[in-house]
Amino acid sequence: MDERLLALRPDETDATPIYLQVARRLGAAIQGGQWRVGDALPSERTLVESLGISRVTARRALQVLAEEGAITRSRGAGTFIAPRPEPRAARLDNFSELARRRGMTPASELVAFERRQATAPEAEALALRTGEEIVRLTRLRKADGQTFWMDVTTLALAVLPDASAIGESLYAYLERIGQPVLRVTEKLRAIVASEELATRLNIAPGEPLLHILRTGYTHGDKPVELTDAYCLNDFYELKQ
């Protein structure tokens, strides 16, 4: 058996879905150069026989990598390693990265958690039925103890039944449950702080803020999170 395939075998003691384990390990092998651009990947059948997984699991693992742009699939031709895309600009929503880049320690504080029925706009944004239950959580994002950012995030109740499960990173949580954010759309605009925002962010009312309206999409291009982020102007940056 190809030794590269042995490293892809899932860990039965790991609670992570098997298809995600295989996708992550195969993705890491691709990044590590074990398969090169243009190389053909093992077929679904080979993965099934070598790893002891189902055909559906193999297909889902390859679909994850295809959605991430790591591989290309062509009916009748096979699966191949895709050319690596040019580096993209860092997303403004990645608070933790911005904090660490400044040598600061990031942290999150959950200040509100609401469970209710979705409004029509919320249902539309998250591809839910009107009236389906959602949760809305407000988090203060801090660096070295100082608040620089506030996120107000809406998700389906089925995605987040318990706010304590998130930890520091919402995106890490979504990845753990098999609904990783694979792409985002963002709309940015300048606003001034209302009294409520000023109180939360410990600034004076009327001070300028950056408002980021973000929608995160998971497998099948399904919207999984809707976030209003409010950032102090002296903290955000955009780097290549």
pLDDT tens-digit map of 76-102: 678 888 876 544 433 434 677 777 777
Q: Is the dihedral of CA 118, 158, 181, 227 positive or negative?
A: positive
- 145: its two tokens: 């103890």
DSSP state of 40: B
Q: Under the phi-then-psi rule, with left for phi > 0, alpha for psi from -120 to 50, and beta for the rest, what region is 69?
A: left
- The tens digit of pLDDT for each residue in 152-209 reads 999 999 999 888 888 777 888 888 888 888 888 888 899 999 999 999 999 999 999 9
Distance between CA atoms of residues 146 and 35, nearest Å: 44
In angstroms, the first-to-last Cα distance of the chain is 41
Better pLDDT: 120 or 169: 120
Q: Which CATH class is domain 95-232?
A: alpha beta
Q: Is the pTM of this model over 0.75?
A: no
CATH number given to 3-81: 1.10.10.10
